[in-house]
Amino acid sequence: MNTETPKTERPLDFIRQIIVEDIATKKHKEITTRFPPEPNGFLHIGHAKSICLNFGAAAENKGTCHLRFDDTNPGKESNEYVEAIKKDLHWLGYDWGEHLYYASDYFDQLYSFAVKLIEMGKAYVCHLNGEEMRTYRGTLTEPGKESPYRGRSKEENLELFEQMRNGEFEEGVCVLRAKIDMASPNFLMRDPVLYRVMKTSHHRTGDKWCIYPMYDFTHCLSDMIENVTHSLCTLEFANNRPLYDWVLDTLQTPCHPQQIEFARLNINYTVTSKRKLLELVKESLVSGWDDPRMLTLSGLRRRGYTPASIRTFCDGIGVGKKESWIDMGILENAIRDDLNPNAPRVLGVLDPLKVVITNYPEDSTETLEALNHPQNPDMGKRTIPFSRELFIERSDFMENAPKKFFRLSEGREVRLRYAYFVTCTQVIKDKNGEVVELHCTYDPATRGGNAPDGRKVKGTIHWVSAAHALQAEVRLYDRLFTEEFPDADKEVSFKDFLNPDSLQVLTNCRLEPSLVDASVSDRFQFERQGYFCIDSEDSLPQHPVFNRIVTLRDSWAKLAGKNKK
């Protein structure tokens, strides 16, 4: 009799259910989604959720996902951002193949569609300024008033729109608006702007255009042109859907994609607004878009996060219709879970204290065996040098230690990981009374960490051989903000909650010599310290720099528990 519990697949989220049903009913022969970033900044963890959803849902249904840059605001966009976004997507494990597009590819077509709306009497050139337009738009309880320019003839509007295109109007003088319903309960349907004058050079089209289409006009038509079947976007665009549908229905386009909204990723102890991230970069509050404290994909990559951990995190939080907050600890646990079974263990001393084994032969060195992963013997072993002079972690020694301190203290015996039992016999201090060196004796019979007479020690500490250690800089990264919701209070700047301890730079660390061959793609667990990797930007052979990816445990969870009490 088979008593195994049958494996069950995870239920499909509501978007994937819609797609599966559309395939089953033959509403669509092939599924096409798109990821449409604006190239005005680097991608962040919130974008990762959309990327995984759009590319994942398409791949699962043998469809395609397009990468389309929404480049309709040239004053804030650049090719630098375009290339950074491509790099992040490839790093995350997704490829768009031949389906790379830009909204600017369609500028001629979009202009023609705008002309068609004018010819249909569905769009007009309006000379109200911004403040007047807001006044005419009305309130939540009062309908808007029609613009005095709303009744212009088709011929006049066509001529004015052509003049807009030819650069005959300055910025802010006039716009092209859709003619919909000034009494609509949805503000976006109260004659929204479709085109505005912007005399700014575009990173792809140069100075060909001095008018640029608005997002709501561009997006639906770009989806239509590319035969997108499911236009997936976050909940803040739910109010935009009627306008999305109005444009396509009014123009009677041959393809009408379905816009579906899902809850965006909100994660605590961070900000994901590109405007606010850019503020941090421009004010040099971080070192750049790829600062490892930033939850940009480039920052996470440099920090040492793996693509698999990001994808697992996005899969784990799911796709829903209701806004919610995700704890930063879930993201940190995703990288811990990814690295724990795979990252080789090494010895690293971050705050070194010198130890001299006084009864060990001078000028002698031996090699000891160490497991690369104690829980995974298949990862093999390595050798580490042992000599008379060592470094241990300063925090592993304490004068006048209490009974429950099981590490090194004068007169106490501890185990050196993979090496010997040692006993501290003398403490050397400098003229200021600071401990600078320990003298110890070792028991040669305890090689490998066990005593033949069966005696036990409660403490095991890590170490490196002083003569062989690799000197390195280590950067200890922590959360960028101390406040769980740093931008919640609109009266207080989110920058007031920057964590002063989010980066600690240690310049005199000593690591086991095997790390001299570490590459950017490698990840390690420094035993008892956390997970680390080489910094991809600043590390040099003559000056190695390691980043802490994440601690071994979530120290913030304990802090949160104390605060609740």
Whole-number pLDDT of residue 8: 45
Check if 80 is active-site.
Answer: no
Domain 274-344+473-564 CATH (choose: 2.40.240.10, 1.10.3980.10, 2.30.30.220, 3.20.20.70) = 2.40.240.10
The whole-number average pLDDT for the span 213-235 is: 98
Check if 264 is active-site.
Answer: yes
Q: Kindly tell me if the per-residue pLDDT of 308 is higher than 70.
A: yes
All residues at 6 or more sequence positions from 29 whose CB lies less than 8 Å from its CB, including other chains: none
Hey, where are the domains in the chain? 14-264, 274-344+473-564, 348-461
CA distances from 379 to 342, 344, 346, 370, 436 (A): 9, 8, 13, 11, 37
Q: What percent of the chain has pLDDT over 70?
A: 96
Say how far apart CA 147 and CA 182 lie, in whole Å. 9
**Cα 507 versus chain centre, distance:** 27
Model confidence over 267-278: pLDDT tens digits? 999 999 999 999
Residues 215/249/222/175 CA torsion (nearest 10 deg): -40
Q: At what angle do helices 107-119 and 215-225 cross, to 10 degrees?
A: 110
- Phi then psi for residue 63, to 5 deg, are -105, -160
Quickly state the pLDDT bin for 9 (edges 50, 70, 90): low
The percent of the chain in helix, strand and coil, each rounded to the nearest 5, is 30, 25, 45
Whole-number pLDDT of residue 4: 42
CA distances from 101 to 34, 36, 215, 260, 437 (A): 10, 9, 15, 21, 63
Q: Is there a shared CATH topology between the 14-264 domain and the 348-461 domain?
A: no
Quickly state the pLDDT bin for 5 (edges 50, 70, 90): very low
Say how far apart CA 335 and CA 162 lie, in whole Å. 55
The whole-number average pLDDT for the span 380-407 is: 94
Q: What percent of the chain has pLDDT over 90?
A: 92
Whole-number pLDDT of residue 562: 53
Whole-number pLDDT of residue 565: 46
Among candidate residues 68, 177, 241, 274, the one labeled active-site is 274
Looking at every residue in the chain, the average pLDDT score rounds to: 95
- Phi then psi for residue 377, to 5 deg, are -60, -25
DSSP 8-state secondary structure symbol assigned to residue 265: P
Quickly state the pLDDT bin for 449 (edges 50, 70, 90): confident
Angle made by CA atoms 369, 348, 286, in degrees to the nearest 5: 150
Which CATH number is associated with domain 14-264?
3.40.50.620
The whole-number average pLDDT for the span 397-403 is: 90
Among candidate residues 16, 38, 145, 276, the one labeled active-site is 38
Check if 10 is active-site.
Answer: no
Q: Kindly tell me if the per-residue pLDDT of 205 is higher than 80.
A: yes
Model confidence over 453-487: pLDDT tens digits? 988 899 999 999 999 999 999 999 999 999 999 99
Contact 156, 127 (CB under 8 A): no
Q: Kindly tell me if the per-residue pLDDT of 447 is higher than 90.
A: yes
Q: What is the distance between the terminal CA atoms of the chain, rounded to a whole angstrom?
A: 51
The whole-number average pLDDT for the span 514-526 is: 96
The whole-number average pLDDT for the span 285-309 is: 98
- Fold for domain 348-461? Ribosomal Protein L25; Chain P (2.40.240)
Smallest CA-to-CA distance from 286 within 295, 297, 294 is with 294
Whole-number pLDDT of residue 558: 58
Model confidence over 63-116: pLDDT tens digits? 999 999 999 999 999 999 999 999 999 999 999 999 999 999 999 999 999 999
Q: Which residue has the tokens 């698999």?
A: 308
Alpha-helical (H) ranges within 365-472 are none
Choose between 404 and 171: higher pLDDT: 171
Contact 440, 424 (CB under 8 A): yes
Model confidence over 336-383: pLDDT tens digits? 999 999 999 999 999 999 999 999 999 899 999 999 999 999 999 999
DSSP 8-state secondary structure symbol assigned to residue 498: B
Among candidate residues 86, 264, 447, 528, the one labeled active-site is 264
